[in-house]
Amino acid sequence: MIKIDAHQHYWKYNREDYGWMSDEMGVLKKDYLPQDLKAVQDPIGFDGAVAVQARQVVGECDFLMDLVYRYPNVKGVVGWVDLRSPEVEEELLNYSIHPTFVGVRHVIHDEEDDYFMMRPEFLRGISLLADYELTYDLLLFENHLATAIKLVKQFPNLKFVLDHISKPRIKDQAFEPWERDLKELAEMDNVYCKLSGMVTEADWDNWTPEDIVPYIYLTLEAFGANRCMIGSDWPVCLVAGEYDKVMGVVSDAISKLSAEEQAAVMGQTCIDFYDLPGFD
């Protein structure tokens, strides 16, 4: 079974670029690079990971793409370009010529405008991604799901993936309106979902697998195993748990699925969705 972590981050820490790290996130305020991830992936048999942008700054894509060519465990990059920019086509062309540049993400849940996704200039940028064989990562809170449904309906030929199951309120064990909107989003077969980022929505110090597993099962029911992929959100997950413990929540939860379904969640869905090179 090929095991790929569909969602993690690298950075060389500085306060200016990573201002989103609160005082409670002190463990994150240092460099995290591919060799650090490899040290925790190797013991549990993971073959690599997809690196996802952590800064919305010019230079983030170049930083991540440089890692691809120096570290074989970096299997793909989801970068950031300003999709609202008049020069966005030039940027997409520049990066998309690299097979390991597989998608784009914007930190939607940090935008003050809950309807940011529907701005005409942003929609124009989204409309170009399929032309460059790129995907789009949806980084949302549950209150953005209804707008995301409207967005996805406009682009049936573009592949979307929902990060962190849209960050439901796991700490409060709340399911609505998240469950309702998640199921509606999942009705569109060009949308996939990452089983990632869940421990940081739980009680960081006191969560148990039992807090999280119901959300995993509901997501699997909505999307099916062939549209779900495991992700760690490392090193962000470290505020709530070590890598092996975080990944174990998902791998244990799917242990009763068929061998084919487990293989999909653990790596094959990620490979197929992002069309990661080197796995033919």
Tokens of 59: 């230079």
Sheet of 74-79, strands arranged across:
4-8, 48-52, 74-79, 101-106, 135-138, 160-162, 191-195, 228-230
Cα angle value 58/191/279 (rounded, 5°): 75
Separation CA 19–CA 106 (nearest Å): 16
Contacting residues for 19 by C-beta, under 8 A, at least 6 apart? none
Per-residue pLDDT of the chain (280 residues; tens, 9 = 90+): 999 999 999 999 999 999 889 999 999 999 999 999 999 999 999 999 999 999 999 899 999 999 999 999 999 999 999 999 999 999 999 999 999 999 999 999 999 999 999 999 999 999 999 999 999 999 999 999 999 999 999 999 999 999 999 999 999 999 999 999 999 999 999 999 999 999 999 999 999 999 999 999 999 999 999 999 999 999 999 999 999 999 999 999 999 999 999 999 999 999 999 999 999 7
Q: Which pLDDT belongs to residue 280?
A: 76
What is the phi/psi pair of residue 73, to 5°? -80, -5
- Written out in words, the top-level CATH class of the domain with range 4-274 is alpha beta
Residues 260 and 87: their CA atoms lie apart, in Å, by: 43
Extents of the domains making up the chain = 4-274
| Interacting residues of 13 by C-beta distance below 8 A, sequence separation 6+ | 28, 29, 30, 31, 32
Token pair, residue 37, equals: 């991830």
Going from the C-alpha of 217 to that of each of 119, 224, 233, the distances in angstroms are 34, 10, 19
Q: Return the SS3 of 49.
A: strand
Look up residue 161 and give its two tokens: 């993936």
SS3 135: strand
pLDDT of res. 19:
87
**55-85 pLDDT per residue, tens:** 999 899 999 999 999 999 999 999 999 999 9
Task: Say what percent of the chain tops pLDDT 90.
Answer: 98
Whether pTM exceeds 0.75: yes
- In this predicted model, what pLDDT tens digit does every residue of 8-25 receive, in sequence order? 999 999 999 998 899 999
> What was the pLDDT predicted at 91?
96
CA separation for the pair 10, 106 (Å, rounded): 16
